Amino acid sequence: MEKIKKIAVMTSGGDSPGMNAAIRSVVRACAYYRTECMGIYRGYQGLIEGDLVPFTARSVNNIINKGGTILKSARSKDFRTKEGRLKAYENLKEHNVDALVVIGGDGSFTGGVVFNKEFSFPIIGIPGTIDNDISGTTHTIGYDTALNTAVEAIDKIRDTASSHNRLFFVEVMGRDAGFIALNAGVGAGAEEILIPEENLGVERMLESLKKSRRTGKSSSIVVVSEGDKTGKNVFELADYVEANLPEYEVRVSVLGHMQRGGSPTCFDRVLASRLGVKAVELLLDNQTNLMVGLQNNKIVATDLEKAIKGENSIDMELLRVSDIMTT
Protein backbone atom coordinates (compact mmCIF):
# COMPACT_ATOMS: atom_id res chain seq x y z
CA MET A 1 0.00 0.00 0.00
CA GLU A 2 1.27 3.48 -0.90
CA LYS A 3 1.93 6.07 1.78
CA ILE A 4 -1.25 7.85 2.93
CA LYS A 5 -0.96 11.55 2.13
CA LYS A 6 -4.58 12.70 2.26
CA ILE A 7 -7.51 11.44 4.37
CA ALA A 8 -11.18 12.31 3.94
CA VAL A 9 -13.76 12.16 6.75
CA MET A 10 -17.53 11.85 6.51
CA THR A 11 -20.58 11.28 8.72
CA SER A 12 -23.34 8.98 7.55
CA GLY A 13 -26.67 7.56 8.72
CA GLY A 14 -28.46 8.97 11.76
CA ASP A 15 -26.68 11.82 13.51
CA SER A 16 -25.51 11.43 17.10
CA PRO A 17 -24.06 13.84 19.69
CA GLY A 18 -20.27 13.69 19.54
CA MET A 19 -19.94 13.32 15.77
CA ASN A 20 -18.52 16.84 15.57
CA ALA A 21 -15.98 15.96 18.24
CA ALA A 22 -14.96 12.94 16.12
CA ILE A 23 -14.65 15.08 12.98
CA ARG A 24 -12.50 17.55 14.93
CA SER A 25 -10.30 14.74 16.19
CA VAL A 26 -9.71 13.27 12.73
CA VAL A 27 -8.90 16.66 11.24
CA ARG A 28 -6.51 17.68 14.02
CA ALA A 29 -4.82 14.28 14.09
CA CYS A 30 -4.18 14.71 10.36
CA ALA A 31 -2.72 18.17 11.01
CA TYR A 32 -0.51 16.77 13.80
CA TYR A 33 0.85 14.07 11.50
CA ARG A 34 1.20 16.52 8.59
CA THR A 35 -1.38 14.71 6.50
CA GLU A 36 -3.88 16.58 4.34
CA CYS A 37 -7.55 16.24 5.23
CA MET A 38 -10.86 16.79 3.45
CA GLY A 39 -14.42 16.85 4.73
CA ILE A 40 -17.17 15.17 2.74
CA TYR A 41 -20.59 16.77 3.08
CA ARG A 42 -23.82 14.70 3.17
CA GLY A 43 -22.20 11.28 3.52
CA TYR A 44 -22.02 8.88 0.59
CA GLN A 45 -24.41 11.03 -1.46
CA GLY A 46 -22.09 14.01 -1.13
CA LEU A 47 -19.18 11.78 -2.07
CA ILE A 48 -20.96 10.74 -5.26
CA GLU A 49 -21.75 14.38 -6.06
CA GLY A 50 -18.18 15.53 -5.35
CA ASP A 51 -19.03 17.64 -2.31
CA LEU A 52 -15.51 17.54 -0.80
CA VAL A 53 -13.85 20.50 0.93
CA PRO A 54 -10.28 20.86 2.30
CA PHE A 55 -10.20 20.94 6.11
CA THR A 56 -7.46 22.36 8.32
CA ALA A 57 -7.09 22.40 12.10
CA ARG A 58 -8.81 25.80 12.14
CA SER A 59 -11.78 24.46 10.15
CA VAL A 60 -12.98 22.61 13.24
CA ASN A 61 -12.72 25.39 15.83
CA ASN A 62 -15.50 25.51 18.42
CA ILE A 63 -17.43 22.41 17.30
CA ILE A 64 -16.56 19.94 20.06
CA ASN A 65 -19.57 21.09 22.11
CA LYS A 66 -22.10 21.07 19.28
CA GLY A 67 -24.63 18.31 18.61
CA GLY A 68 -25.45 16.99 15.14
CA THR A 69 -22.76 17.05 12.46
CA ILE A 70 -21.29 20.01 10.60
CA LEU A 71 -20.68 17.67 7.65
CA LYS A 72 -24.42 16.85 7.49
CA SER A 73 -25.76 13.38 6.77
CA ALA A 74 -27.97 11.88 4.09
CA ARG A 75 -29.31 8.54 2.93
CA SER A 76 -27.93 7.52 -0.46
CA LYS A 77 -29.79 5.17 -2.80
CA ASP A 78 -27.17 5.89 -5.47
CA PHE A 79 -24.37 4.42 -3.35
CA ARG A 80 -26.22 1.09 -3.34
CA THR A 81 -25.49 0.81 -7.06
CA LYS A 82 -22.19 -0.13 -8.69
CA GLU A 83 -22.37 3.01 -10.82
CA GLY A 84 -22.82 5.22 -7.77
CA ARG A 85 -19.88 3.66 -5.95
CA LEU A 86 -17.71 4.01 -9.06
CA LYS A 87 -18.55 7.71 -9.21
CA ALA A 88 -17.66 8.03 -5.52
CA TYR A 89 -14.31 6.32 -6.14
CA GLU A 90 -13.56 8.58 -9.12
CA ASN A 91 -14.27 11.67 -7.00
CA LEU A 92 -11.89 10.48 -4.30
CA LYS A 93 -9.15 9.88 -6.84
CA GLU A 94 -9.84 13.25 -8.52
CA HIS A 95 -9.23 14.93 -5.16
CA ASN A 96 -6.16 12.76 -4.52
CA VAL A 97 -7.72 11.24 -1.40
CA ASP A 98 -5.91 8.09 -0.28
CA ALA A 99 -8.12 6.90 2.60
CA LEU A 100 -11.53 7.40 4.16
CA VAL A 101 -12.81 7.67 7.74
CA VAL A 102 -16.53 6.86 8.02
CA ILE A 103 -18.36 7.98 11.19
CA GLY A 104 -21.69 6.18 11.48
CA GLY A 105 -23.52 2.95 12.27
CA ASP A 106 -23.93 -0.49 10.73
CA GLY A 107 -25.48 0.77 7.47
CA SER A 108 -22.62 3.19 6.91
CA PHE A 109 -20.08 0.49 7.73
CA THR A 110 -21.75 -1.97 5.36
CA GLY A 111 -21.34 0.54 2.55
CA GLY A 112 -17.70 0.98 3.53
CA VAL A 113 -17.01 -2.77 3.45
CA VAL A 114 -18.52 -3.10 -0.04
CA PHE A 115 -16.56 -0.06 -1.24
CA ASN A 116 -13.31 -1.46 0.16
CA LYS A 117 -13.86 -4.82 -1.53
CA GLU A 118 -14.64 -3.28 -4.91
CA PHE A 119 -11.85 -0.73 -5.05
CA SER A 120 -9.36 -1.83 -2.35
CA PHE A 121 -9.79 1.66 -0.88
CA PRO A 122 -8.51 2.07 2.71
CA ILE A 123 -11.36 2.66 5.17
CA ILE A 124 -11.61 2.98 8.96
CA GLY A 125 -14.96 3.17 10.75
CA ILE A 126 -15.79 5.20 13.86
CA PRO A 127 -19.02 4.03 15.57
CA GLY A 128 -21.45 6.94 15.87
CA THR A 129 -25.01 5.96 16.85
CA ILE A 130 -27.12 6.52 19.94
CA ASP A 131 -28.40 2.91 19.83
CA ASN A 132 -25.05 1.40 20.95
CA ASP A 133 -25.77 -1.61 18.71
CA ILE A 134 -22.31 -2.06 17.17
CA SER A 135 -20.15 -5.03 18.13
CA GLY A 136 -16.52 -4.40 19.11
CA THR A 137 -17.12 -1.44 21.39
CA THR A 138 -18.83 -1.03 24.75
CA HIS A 139 -19.87 2.51 23.83
CA THR A 140 -20.71 4.17 20.54
CA ILE A 141 -20.43 7.93 20.15
CA GLY A 142 -23.69 9.59 21.23
CA TYR A 143 -24.98 6.76 23.40
CA ASP A 144 -24.00 8.34 26.71
CA THR A 145 -25.54 11.68 25.73
CA ALA A 146 -28.78 10.02 24.59
CA LEU A 147 -28.95 8.15 27.90
CA ASN A 148 -28.59 11.33 29.92
CA THR A 149 -31.18 13.10 27.77
CA ALA A 150 -33.64 10.23 28.30
CA VAL A 151 -33.06 10.13 32.08
CA GLU A 152 -33.53 13.89 32.39
CA ALA A 153 -36.78 13.72 30.43
CA ILE A 154 -38.09 10.77 32.48
CA ASP A 155 -37.24 12.60 35.70
CA LYS A 156 -39.39 15.52 34.56
CA ILE A 157 -42.23 13.25 33.48
CA ARG A 158 -42.16 11.58 36.90
CA ASP A 159 -42.88 14.95 38.52
CA THR A 160 -46.15 15.14 36.60
CA ALA A 161 -46.91 11.44 37.14
CA SER A 162 -46.52 11.87 40.91
CA SER A 163 -48.52 15.08 41.03
CA HIS A 164 -51.52 13.53 39.24
CA ASN A 165 -51.18 9.88 40.34
CA ARG A 166 -50.72 8.79 36.75
CA LEU A 167 -49.07 5.91 34.94
CA PHE A 168 -46.78 7.11 32.16
CA PHE A 169 -45.51 5.01 29.27
CA VAL A 170 -42.29 6.64 28.02
CA GLU A 171 -41.00 5.43 24.66
CA VAL A 172 -37.29 5.80 23.98
CA MET A 173 -35.32 5.06 20.82
CA GLY A 174 -33.99 1.57 20.16
CA ARG A 175 -35.73 -0.24 17.30
CA ASP A 176 -33.46 -3.29 17.48
CA ALA A 177 -31.61 -2.78 20.77
CA GLY A 178 -32.78 -1.93 24.27
CA PHE A 179 -29.61 -0.34 25.64
CA ILE A 180 -31.16 3.11 26.09
CA ALA A 181 -34.38 1.74 27.60
CA LEU A 182 -32.65 -0.59 30.06
CA ASN A 183 -30.02 1.85 31.30
CA ALA A 184 -32.28 4.91 31.33
CA GLY A 185 -35.01 2.88 33.00
CA VAL A 186 -32.72 1.75 35.79
CA GLY A 187 -31.18 5.22 36.10
CA ALA A 188 -34.57 6.92 36.32
CA GLY A 189 -36.12 4.33 38.64
CA ALA A 190 -38.76 3.05 36.22
CA GLU A 191 -41.25 0.50 37.55
CA GLU A 192 -41.12 -1.55 34.33
CA ILE A 193 -38.73 -1.68 31.37
CA LEU A 194 -39.70 -3.26 28.03
CA ILE A 195 -36.89 -4.04 25.56
CA PRO A 196 -36.56 -5.98 22.26
CA GLU A 197 -34.15 -8.53 23.75
CA GLU A 198 -36.62 -9.76 26.38
CA ASN A 199 -40.26 -10.47 25.53
CA LEU A 200 -41.68 -10.18 29.03
CA GLY A 201 -45.29 -10.07 27.84
CA VAL A 202 -48.10 -7.71 28.75
CA GLU A 203 -49.59 -10.02 31.38
CA ARG A 204 -46.38 -9.98 33.41
CA MET A 205 -46.35 -6.19 33.15
CA LEU A 206 -49.97 -6.04 34.35
CA GLU A 207 -49.17 -8.22 37.35
CA SER A 208 -46.18 -6.05 38.20
CA LEU A 209 -48.27 -2.87 38.01
CA LYS A 210 -50.98 -4.44 40.16
CA LYS A 211 -48.36 -5.39 42.73
CA SER A 212 -46.98 -1.85 42.71
CA ARG A 213 -50.47 -0.51 43.28
CA ARG A 214 -51.04 -2.87 46.20
CA THR A 215 -47.77 -1.83 47.85
CA GLY A 216 -48.83 1.81 47.82
CA LYS A 217 -47.45 3.24 44.56
CA SER A 218 -49.89 5.80 43.22
CA SER A 219 -47.87 6.66 40.10
CA SER A 220 -45.57 4.64 37.86
CA ILE A 221 -43.20 4.97 34.92
CA VAL A 222 -42.88 2.27 32.27
CA VAL A 223 -39.97 2.76 29.87
CA VAL A 224 -40.56 1.15 26.47
CA SER A 225 -37.96 0.67 23.76
CA GLU A 226 -39.51 1.41 20.34
CA GLY A 227 -38.54 -2.13 19.25
CA ASP A 228 -40.22 -3.90 22.18
CA LYS A 229 -41.49 -7.37 21.20
CA THR A 230 -44.78 -7.44 23.13
CA GLY A 231 -46.60 -7.15 19.80
CA LYS A 232 -48.16 -3.80 20.66
CA ASN A 233 -46.90 -0.28 20.08
CA VAL A 234 -46.69 2.08 23.04
CA PHE A 235 -50.17 3.55 22.44
CA GLU A 236 -51.75 0.10 22.19
CA LEU A 237 -49.94 -0.89 25.38
CA ALA A 238 -51.33 2.15 27.16
CA ASP A 239 -54.88 1.39 25.98
CA TYR A 240 -54.56 -2.25 27.04
CA VAL A 241 -53.37 -1.35 30.52
CA GLU A 242 -56.04 1.33 30.95
CA ALA A 243 -58.71 -1.20 29.94
CA ASN A 244 -57.42 -3.83 32.38
CA LEU A 245 -56.34 -1.54 35.21
CA PRO A 246 -59.00 1.18 35.26
CA GLU A 247 -57.66 2.51 38.56
CA TYR A 248 -54.70 3.93 36.59
CA GLU A 249 -54.93 7.12 34.55
CA VAL A 250 -52.54 6.38 31.69
CA ARG A 251 -50.53 8.80 29.57
CA VAL A 252 -47.94 8.28 26.80
CA SER A 253 -44.81 10.31 26.10
CA VAL A 254 -42.63 9.56 23.05
CA LEU A 255 -39.20 11.15 23.44
CA GLY A 256 -38.33 10.66 19.77
CA HIS A 257 -35.53 12.55 18.07
CA MET A 258 -34.78 14.80 21.03
CA GLN A 259 -32.54 11.91 22.14
CA ARG A 260 -30.30 12.47 19.13
CA GLY A 261 -29.76 16.15 19.75
CA GLY A 262 -28.05 18.39 22.25
CA SER A 263 -24.54 19.11 23.39
CA PRO A 264 -22.54 15.87 23.89
CA THR A 265 -21.53 14.79 27.36
CA CYS A 266 -17.90 14.93 28.46
CA PHE A 267 -17.73 11.15 28.06
CA ASP A 268 -18.83 11.32 24.40
CA ARG A 269 -16.44 14.19 23.65
CA VAL A 270 -13.47 12.33 25.12
CA LEU A 271 -14.45 9.04 23.45
CA ALA A 272 -14.83 10.73 20.06
CA SER A 273 -11.44 12.43 20.46
CA ARG A 274 -9.72 9.14 21.28
CA LEU A 275 -11.39 7.25 18.43
CA GLY A 276 -10.60 9.93 15.84
CA VAL A 277 -6.89 9.94 16.67
CA LYS A 278 -6.72 6.13 16.55
CA ALA A 279 -8.52 6.03 13.19
CA VAL A 280 -5.94 8.32 11.60
CA GLU A 281 -3.03 6.45 13.17
CA LEU A 282 -4.30 3.12 11.85
CA LEU A 283 -4.55 4.48 8.31
CA LEU A 284 -1.06 5.99 8.50
CA ASP A 285 0.11 2.54 9.65
CA ASN A 286 -1.41 1.12 6.44
CA GLN A 287 -4.20 -0.72 8.26
CA THR A 288 -7.67 -0.80 6.74
CA ASN A 289 -11.19 -2.25 6.91
CA LEU A 290 -11.24 -1.82 10.68
CA MET A 291 -13.46 -0.10 13.23
CA VAL A 292 -12.05 1.66 16.27
CA GLY A 293 -13.89 1.09 19.53
CA LEU A 294 -13.70 1.10 23.32
CA GLN A 295 -13.08 -2.09 25.32
CA ASN A 296 -11.96 -2.16 28.96
CA ASN A 297 -11.37 1.60 28.65
CA LYS A 298 -8.78 1.02 25.91
CA ILE A 299 -9.11 1.96 22.25
CA VAL A 300 -9.00 -1.18 20.10
CA ALA A 301 -9.51 -2.10 16.46
CA THR A 302 -12.10 -4.63 15.26
CA ASP A 303 -12.59 -6.06 11.79
CA LEU A 304 -15.27 -3.88 10.15
CA GLU A 305 -17.33 -6.84 8.95
CA LYS A 306 -17.21 -8.43 12.40
CA ALA A 307 -18.42 -5.16 13.93
CA ILE A 308 -21.44 -5.20 11.61
CA LYS A 309 -22.34 -8.88 11.92
CA GLY A 310 -21.60 -9.30 15.62
CA GLU A 311 -24.03 -8.51 18.41
CA ASN A 312 -23.47 -6.10 21.26
CA SER A 313 -25.30 -8.13 23.88
CA ILE A 314 -27.54 -6.62 26.52
CA ASP A 315 -26.12 -6.68 30.05
CA MET A 316 -27.97 -9.56 31.72
CA GLU A 317 -26.67 -8.52 35.14
CA LEU A 318 -28.23 -5.09 34.69
CA LEU A 319 -31.45 -6.77 33.60
CA ARG A 320 -31.39 -8.75 36.86
CA VAL A 321 -30.78 -5.55 38.82
CA SER A 322 -33.72 -3.88 37.07
CA ASP A 323 -36.02 -6.73 38.18
CA ILE A 324 -34.88 -6.28 41.78
CA MET A 325 -35.29 -2.50 41.64
CA THR A 326 -38.92 -2.76 40.49
CA THR A 327 -39.83 -4.66 43.66
Catalytic residues: 131
Rounded CA separation 104/42 (Å): 12
Rounded CA separation 167/184 (Å): 17
Q: How far is CA 21 from CA 71, 125, 251, in A?
A: 12, 15, 37
Are 82 and 279 in contact by the 8 Å Cβ rule? The answer is: no
Q: DSSP readout, 131-151?
A: T---TT-S--BTHHHHHHHHH
Rounded CA separation 227/254 (Å): 13
> Phi first, then psi: what are they for 219, rounded to 5°?
-140, 155
Rounded CA separation 199/210 (Å): 19
DSSP state of 326: T
Rounded CA separation 309/320 (Å): 27
Task: Compute, in degrees rounded to 10, the torsion defined by CA atoms 284, 285, 288, 292.
Answer: -90
Rounded CA separation 267/284 (Å): 26
